[in-house]
Amino acid sequence: MPESVKLLGLGVAVPGHVIHQAEAAALAESLFSDRIRGFSHLVPVFSNSGIRRRYSVRPLSWFLDQHGWADRMQAYSEGARALFADAATRAINQAGLEPADIDTIVTISSTGFATPSIEALVAREMGFRADIQRVPVFGLGCAGGVSGLGIAARLAAGRPGTKVLMVAIELCSLAFRLDEPSNVSVVASALFGDGAAACVLSADEGGVAAVESTGEHLFPDTVDLMGWRVDDHGLGIILAQSLPHFVGSQVGPAIAGILARNGIELADIDRFVCHPGGAKVLDAVESSLSLGQGTLNDEREVLAAYGNMSSPTVLFVLDRAVRAGLPERSAMLALGPGFTASCVTLRKAA
């Protein structure tokens, strides 16, 4: 970075409704067992996912009914506003600041729509200034936590002394489709949860880590690997079965290339902080980066406790790593639709 940007504060938040994996499996069976041929072959995805529980902005009973865009986006607006305020307040407090100290807000989300965007809807109750600069970003998916951190860091570097708040909010549960009895719907019902995470960054002294470099790699001809399909009833997930194989064969060289462009080698990284997209994906990342089996066990613990929350999940892993003590150099890694690999390196704060 042209100006040393520090991570001053970090906060995470989840909604109040807990979904235990056994409950999700039972619900999926009741809804889909007689509508999907060979459903019994899909049941192991719930136990093999490595997930114990997840959190949702709506109780499990909500998913028993059909919902259109109006229901989904009302739930999104209500849930995202509450999670934004919770995560942002935690990050701002950890940074030793007040909401009025924030100069720019980067809001990352790909699981719902709100206009005005979420940071505007909560601005008054949060106490943000009237001259706050807003940067809402849609479409980064699971890569959004790392890409959003990179965007926020570059904004902070461009205006030294200003305070940039980045908030990643995803309500993946709202994309559940009762009207879509498909294998991918069952897999999604076993993996995804809701949550938010926030970071405060500034080209200042102090902080828990310094942002050293940012970078992305967009793989050609891969738009069908992951994403959303939009129709009259909501968002439908696109999730290719070939994703773990692709990650295992392609991500290592891509990350090595991102690092090399910043004068860093894979061997220079003391710790990877990865988005836990799923158990098979984590295995593939370890293989692709030539990491020892079990290296990403913190990621597996976050996945077990929260599920895949899309963009905020990697920041839950970072929060865990920060509390345990970061090594000299860490690399954050997340993968998302595009298909994109995003990487941010962090140095331990002096």
Q: Which residues are catalytic?
A: 142
CA proximity to 63, closest of 33, 14, 26, 34: 26
Q: How far apart are CA 49 and CA 276, in angstroms?
A: 11
Residue 195 carries which side chain, given as an amino acid letter? G
CA dihedral sign, ordered 240, 246, 251, 252? positive
Q: How far apart are CA 35 and CA 275, in angstroms?
A: 33
Q: How far apart are CA 198 and CA 88, in angstroms?
A: 5
Which whole-number Å values give the CA distances from 140 to 91, 93, 143, in the listed order?
22, 27, 6
126-142 burial, b at 16+ Cβ within 10 Å, e below that, comes to: bebeeebeebbbeebbb
Query: Which two three-digit tokens encode residue 303?
Result: 């996945």
Q: How far apart are CA 223 and CA 239, in angstroms?
A: 10
Q: How far apart are CA 302 and CA 306, in angstroms?
A: 6
Mark out the alpha helices in 139-278 (DSSP H runs).
144-158, 183-191, 243-261
Query: Which two three-digit tokens encode residue 150?
Result: 């990179």
Contact 330, 271 (CB under 8 A): yes
Length of the chain: 350
Q: Which runs of E-coded beta strand occur in 25-184?
A: 53-56, 104-108, 133-137, 164-171
- Give me the residue label for tokens 């409950």: 23
